[in-house]
Homo-oligomer: A and B are copies of this chain.
Amino acid sequence: MLVLLKPGTPETTANDVMTRLRMAGLAVHRTDHDAQVRIAAIGDLSAVDWEAAKTWAGVESLAKLAKPFKLASRAFRPHDTLISVGRATIGSEKIVIMAGPCSVEGEEQAFTIAERVAKAGATVLRGGAFKPRTSPYAFQGLGEEGLKILRRAADAFGLAVISEVMDTAQVGLLSRYADILQIGARNMQNYSLLREVGHTQKPIMLKRGLSSTIEEWLMSAEHIMAQGNQQVMLCERGIRTFETYTRNTLDLNAVPVVKELSHLPIIVDPSHGVGIRDKIAPMARASVAAGADGLIIEVHHDPDHALSDGPQSLYPDQFDSLVAQIRTIAGVVGRTV
């Protein structure tokens, strides 16, 4: 149930309403929109006499939260969620660009790439320290050593850090080094992990599962938000279809759909979505034209020797040109880069 308070309701009254709802056994979440307090009350609604609730002090009106996702829905929070990370405000009019190598491979690699992407306009450095690999025999990442390198490289060039967390036991470690915790596609429905990151104060980037519907994806965001962490951004990274020419099928339809259903920012990852270097730039441009709030792109100065995902990494020069193109397209949709 969505409980809308009258504009100007004193804080003490608002707190009273929330306490009554909590005492009825409901989970209570609050957002403020246009000087109005909006309270989502979730759980066994039969415990409250809603007819009576309409007359509680401060209450203006009630509305059903019809979708299965509540906190992630536009109905609860009509305005876009903004997430501040370093110099970036994700979800704002300014499109955020995250870039960096697939895996952190060493000091020189990380610093070289960080410098280039920072200069080109990126504000967040990506890089994997723990890699989910289909084969148990493939390179699994540098672990904590990789995180340290990533942090230093980012700090050297004024970037924030995003890196993937694969397990509940890693959440603390990742939180020490990264500004944004990434949940990978394979873990989109790892509910234990979602709950765990929901207890942190860190912004979370939740990648869409390979065969997840948009609704399931928003439900996974809800798992995080229900624990109290509202700083969630979504990341479209390609779905699985019958087509084998591309690595995955980047589903840009998801961009305008998510913007309608939810207030959460949506980032697009064309690198994993298409998986072919010279198709990344067209799809990155298309993402911005479709309304994405940001991009996350793999860049490597020497992709032929990358330890993972070389064939889908842009050369730094290609990345420079891409950012320039995106700048113009952003203008068409009322955004900046």
Task: Report A's interface with B, CB cutoff 8 A.
Answer: 27, 42-43, 68, 70, 132-137, 166-170, 186-187, 189-193, 195, 209-211, 213-216, 219, 222-223, 226, 239-246, 249-253, 255-257, 260, 273-274, 276, 278-279, 282-283, 285-291, 325, 328-329, 331-333
Contacts and interface: CB of A to CB of B under 8 A. Distances in A.
A332 B242 contact: no
B246 A249 contact: no
A157 to B, nearest CB: 27
Given A132-B191, A213-B244, A253 B278 contact: no
Nearest to A211: B211
A192 B167 contact: yes
Given A135-B219, A279-B257, A242 B245 contact: no
Contacts of A256: 274, 278-279, 282-283
Given A136-B191, A255-B282, A286-B290, 14 more contacts: A136-B222, A186-B190, A211-B211, A214-B243, A241-B242, A241-B249, A252-B283, A253-B274, A256-B278, A256-B283, A285-B289, A289-B289, A289-B329, A325-B333
Contacts of A289: 282, 285-286, 288-289, 329
Contacts of A168: 167-169
Q: Which of A137, A226, A276 has the most CB of B within 10 A?
A: A137
Contacts of A240: 211, 242
A139 B82 CA distance: 32
19 contacts: A68-B134, A68-B135, A136-B191, A136-B226, A167-B190, A168-B169, A169-B192, A187-B189, A213-B243, A214-B243, A249-B251, A252-B286, A253-B279, A253-B283, A257-B279, A282-B291, A285-B333, A286-B286, A328-B329
Contact of A189 (B132, B137, B193, B241): B132
Given A286-B287, A290-B285, A216 B134 contact: yes
Nearest to A253: B246
A207 to B, nearest CB: 12
Nearest to A196: B167
